[in-house]
Amino acid sequence: MKKILLPLMLCGCSLTALADPAYTIRATELKKKPFNDATTIMALSEKTVVATLQREGGWYQVQVNDSKGWIRMTALRLGDGTTKPGDSGLGSTLQFITTGRSGSSGVTAATGVRGLDAADISNAAPDFKAVDELEALTSELEGASAHAAQAKLKSSKIDYLPTPKSTGSKKSSNSSSPLPWE
């Protein structure tokens, strides 16, 4: 019985992933393979709705009508593009499958499950016993490099990229001066 259960569970996961709708946020191309220089199957206009099949790096394999191909992640947003508060579109149906509750506000309230909110944090009594528990849980960090090597992860030296101009520098946007007399 147990042997059957695990593949079934995994299968369930991949099936929900299969159904994820997405839409293009700009005109883009459906490629035969997940590479920039791969053959273009067709041009897609902005706001084309597609079904995502899987992700590979910065590419999503999608189905558009009868064609299967790859779209750059940066040209795509997951979701049906119509999800709004209280909306029961495709997006919230999917959510029901993955989290066991509907995204529509009515059902969320009805299940009595709600998120961690600001009040929970404001009213929290600091729990130092739990911090000690955490320390005990995390005393085996030496294995991290071996754990990485096991999955064939190789580290590289890569510099951070400069702050793009559009976000603006934090210092210049900060109007309150650190000097109290100014």
Partner 1 sequence: MHKWRRTILFLFLLLTISGHTTAASLGSLFGGGGDKAKMQDLGGLLKSAKDAFGEVKPEEEQAIGREAAAVLLGAVPLVKDKALQRYVNQVGYWIALQSERPDLHWRFAILDSEDINAFAAPGGFVFITKGLLLSMTTEAELAGVLAHEIVHVVAKHHLQAVQKGARLNLAAGLAATQAGSVDRDQLDKISAGFKEIYSRGLDKNDEFEADRKGVILATRAGYDPYGLAATLQTLGAMNPADGSLALLFKTHPSPGQRLEQMEGLFAPLESYAQQPAIKDRFQREIAAAKKRNALAAYGQRQQMAICRQLAMD
Stretch 156-175 residues interacting with partner 1 (CB under 8 A): 156-161, 163-164, 166-168, 170, 173
Q: Determine, following the binding rule CB under 8 A, whether residue 8 of this chain makes contact with partner 1.
A: no
Q: Choose between 36 and 39: whose C-beta lies nearer to partner 1.
A: 36
Q: Determine, following the binding rule CB under 8 A, whether residue 144 of this chain makes contact with partner 1.
A: yes
Tell me how far, at minimum, the Cβ of 124 lies from partner 1, in Å: 3
Three-state DSSP state, 124: coil
Q: Determine, following the binding rule CB under 8 A, whether residue 66 of this chain makes contact with partner 1.
A: no
Q: Determine, following the binding rule CB under 8 A, whether residue 42 of this chain makes contact with partner 1.
A: no
**CA–CA dist 165, 162 (Å, integer):** 9
> What part of residues 44-63 is at the interface with partner 1 (CB under 8 A)?
55-58
Q: Choose between 66 and 114: whose C-beta lies nearer to partner 1.
A: 114
Q: How many CB atoms are closer than 10 A to CB 68?
A: 14
Range list of β-strands (E), 48-180: 49-56, 59-64, 67-72, 76-78
Tell me how far, at minimum, the Cβ of 63 lies from partner 1, in Å: 17
> What part of residues 87-126 is at the interface with partner 1 (CB under 8 A)?
87, 91-92, 94-95, 98-100, 103-105, 108-109, 111-118, 120-126
Q: Determine, following the binding rule CB under 8 A, whether residue 153 of this chain makes contact with partner 1.
A: yes
Query: How many chain residues interact with partner 1 (CB under 8 A)?
Result: 90
**CA quadruple 78, 81, 82, 84: dihedral positive or negative?**
positive
Q: Choose between 37 and 66: whose C-beta lies nearer to partner 1.
A: 37
Give me the residues paired with residue 44 across strands.
Answer: 28
Tell me how far, at minimum, the Cβ of 67 lies from partner 1, in Å: 21
Give me the residues paired with residue 50 across strands.
Answer: 22
